[in-house]
Amino acid sequence: GEVWFAGGQSNMEMGVQGFHNCPVARSNEVIARADARRGRIRYVKVPKTASYTPEERVGGRWNEFSTETAPLCPAVGYFFAEMLGDVLGVPVGVIDCTWGGSRVESWTSREILETYPDIDISEKGIAATDEWLRPLVMYNGMLRPMAGYTVRGYLWYQGESNVGGHAAYAERLANMVKLWRGLWGQGELPFYFVEIAPFGYGNGLAPYLREAQCRAQALIPGSGMVSTNDLVLPCEEGNIHPRDKRSVGKRLAFWALNRTYGRKDVACENMQFRSMEVRDGKAYLSFDNTFGGFGRAFDLRGFEVCGADRMFRPAQVHFEGNERLIVFLPDIPEPVAVRYGFRDFQPGNVVNTRELPLVPFRTDDF
The β-bridge partners of 362 are: 339
CA–CA distance, 292 with 279 (Å, rounded to integer): 24
CA distances from 73 to 64, 67, 120, 153, 315 (A): 10, 11, 34, 19, 42
Name the nearest CA neighbour of 251 among 176, 340, 155, 173: 155
CA–CA distance, 172 with 113 (Å, rounded to integer): 9
Q: What is the pLDDT of residue 45?
A: 97
User: Crossing angle, helix 166-184 and helix 206-219, to 10 degrees?
Assistant: 40
pLDDT tens for residues 306-364? 999 999 999 999 999 888 999 999 999 999 999 999 999 999 999 999 999 999 999 99
Q: With 90 as the cut, is the pLDDT of residue 213 above it?
A: yes
Name the pTM for this structure: 0.97
Let me know how long the chain is: 366
